[in-house]
Amino acid sequence: MIRRPRKPLVSARDVIRDAAKPMEPATRRAFLKQAAGLGTLTLLTGCDVVDSASAENALMTMSRFNDRVQAFLFNPHKLAPEYPRAMIVKPFPFNAFYSADKAPAVDAAGYRLELAGKITDRTPWALDRLYAEPQVTQITRHICVEGWSAIGTWTGIRFSDFLTKIGADLNAPYIAFRCADGYSTSIDMPTALHPQTQLTLMIDGEVLPRIYGFPMKLRMPTKLGFKNPKHITAIEVTDTYPGGYWEDMGYNWFSGL
Ligand SMILES: Nc1nc2c(c(=O)[nH]1)N[C@H]1C(S)=C(S)[C@@H](COP(=O)(O)O)O[C@H]1N2
Ligand SMILES: [Mo]
């Protein structure tokens, strides 16, 4: 039996005040203004979260609210730490929703990166064209929610360069990724445009081995590991919230660091 609390457990005012507490005064003022401006206050005060049987719904509201708070706090110019070569972990840990022997073997010759949604030039990309783009390298830390982290070095195309090149609508809020193993995830546009967000073709100076996401993954040192899709087959720029494999099971969508 579900017991209904008499008093609301959480009030919208407390939630917003709590979220604003750790911020510097200027950020805090801007945040509170934005929270009101977005209609968040009205939205949440309308239903003092816990009066209904639908705790699920309330949790979802909170979770989407947290995403907004996190997105607001994300600094698009702040760089994640980079490390010396000596700190690179070898072999790099493997992780997926299956064991390493099940990682998909994508055929290099037949591979075409599909582009969809709010993009001017949706011509699919073959691998040689991706390899021909200017490449950058980063040595950063990958952090998995399952409780491990490791420093690695990844090389690929700066994602903001790629998005500009294909004529992506940079005002669209979401970018969704589909993968050869059925995995999916999606990210916010400010993170997509972050200078360290990389369309990765190599790890440790060699073409991405099968288990690390051949032929291509997205590397973001500003987000948790599960937000970094391997074996990408399609990229879509969209106005509609796309969710993702773990996100649909309740992992926090923003999951920024
Ligand atoms: N296509 C695909 N991408 C994925 C996953 C997956 O199962 N499939 N797992 C994610 C998780 S939880 C982690 S921690 C990293 C692991 O990447 P690695 O094998 O290169 O360490 O990939 C992420 N991207
Ligand atoms: Mo992970």
Q: What is the pLDDT of residues 70-103, one digit of tens each?
A: 988 899 999 999 999 999 999 999 999 999 999 9
Contact 252, 66 (CB under 8 A): yes
Per-residue pLDDT for 114 more than 90?
Answer: yes
Per-residue pLDDT for 6 more than 50?
Answer: no
pLDDT, residue 50, reads 44
85-249: CATH topology is Sulfite Oxidase; Chain A, domain 2 (3.90.420)
Q: How many residues does the chain have?
A: 257
* Peptide bond connecting 221 to the previous residue in cis, omega within 30 degrees of 0: no
The reply to whether ligand 1 has any atom less than 6 angstroms from the CB of 178 is: no
* Peptide bond connecting 242 to the previous residue in cis, omega within 30 degrees of 0: no
Separation between Cα atoms, residue 98 and residue 48, nearest integer Å: 41
Cα–Cα–Cα angle for 161, 183, 103, nearest 5°? 100
Cα–Cα–Cα angle for 71, 75, 79, nearest 5°? 130
Q: How sure is the predictor about 10, in pLDDT bands with cuts at 50, 70 and 90? A: low
The reply to whether ligand 1 has any atom less than 6 angstroms from the CB of 50 is: no
Where in the sequence of the chain do the CATH 3.90.420.10 domains occur? 85-249
Cα–Cα–Cα angle for 213, 105, 114, nearest 5°? 65
Copy the structure tokens of residue 213.
């996401």
3-state secondary structure of 7: coil
The reply to whether ligand 1 has any atom less than 6 angstroms from the CB of 209 is: no
Per-residue pLDDT for 14 more than 80?
Answer: no
- Of all protein residues, the one whose alpha carbon is nearest to atom 23 of ligand 1 is 226
Q: To the nearest whole percent, how much of the chain has pLDDT over 70?
A: 79
Closest atom of ligand 1 relative to the 104 alpha carbon: 1
The reply to whether ligand 1 has any atom less than 6 angstroms from the CB of 194 is: no
- Work out the average pLDDT over 112-135: 98
Per-residue pLDDT for 225 more than 60?
Answer: yes
CA of 127 to the centre of ligand 2 (A): 26
pLDDT, residue 66, reads 85
Which letter does DSSP use for residue 213 in this model?
T
Contact 184, 201 (CB under 8 A): no
pLDDT, residue 68, reads 85
Choose between 101 and 17: higher pLDDT: 101
The reply to whether ligand 1 has any atom less than 6 angstroms from the CB of 227 is: no
3-state secondary structure of 113: strand
Separation between Cα atoms, residue 247 and residue 24, nearest integer Å: 30
Separation between Cα atoms, residue 247 and residue 253, nearest integer Å: 6
The reply to whether ligand 1 has any atom less than 6 angstroms from the CB of 95 is: yes
Separation between Cα atoms, residue 101 and residue 233, nearest integer Å: 20
Contact 175, 187 (CB under 8 A): yes
Using most ligand atoms within 8 A of CB, pick from 95, 155, 252 the residue to mutate for ligand 1.
95
CA of 145 to the centre of ligand 2 (A): 5
Per-residue pLDDT for 22 more than 70?
Answer: no
Query: For the chain, what is the mean pLDDT?
Result: 87
CA of 219 to the centre of ligand 2 (A): 13
Choose between 20 and 48: higher pLDDT: 20
Q: How sure is the predictor about 5, in pLDDT bands with cuts at 50, 70 and 90? A: very low
- Of all protein residues, the one whose alpha carbon is nearest to atom 6 of ligand 1 is 96
Separation between Cα atoms, residue 187 and residue 242, nearest integer Å: 9
pLDDT, residue 38, reads 43
The reply to whether ligand 1 has any atom less than 6 angstroms from the CB of 223 is: no
- Work out the average pLDDT over 199-210: 98
The helix (H) or strand (E) run that includes residue 179 is strand 174-179
pLDDT, residue 27, reads 72
| Residues ≥6 apart with Cβ < 8 Å to 25 | none
Which letter does DSSP use for residue 38 in this model?
T
pLDDT, residue 61, reads 74
pLDDT, residue 16, reads 62
CA of 7 to the centre of ligand 1 (A): 42
Q: How sure is the predictor about 64, in pLDDT bands with cuts at 50, 70 and 90? A: confident
- Nearest ligand by distance to the CA of 151: 1
- Of all protein residues, the one whose alpha carbon is nearest to atom 5 of ligand 1 is 96
Separation between Cα atoms, residue 218 and residue 142, nearest integer Å: 12
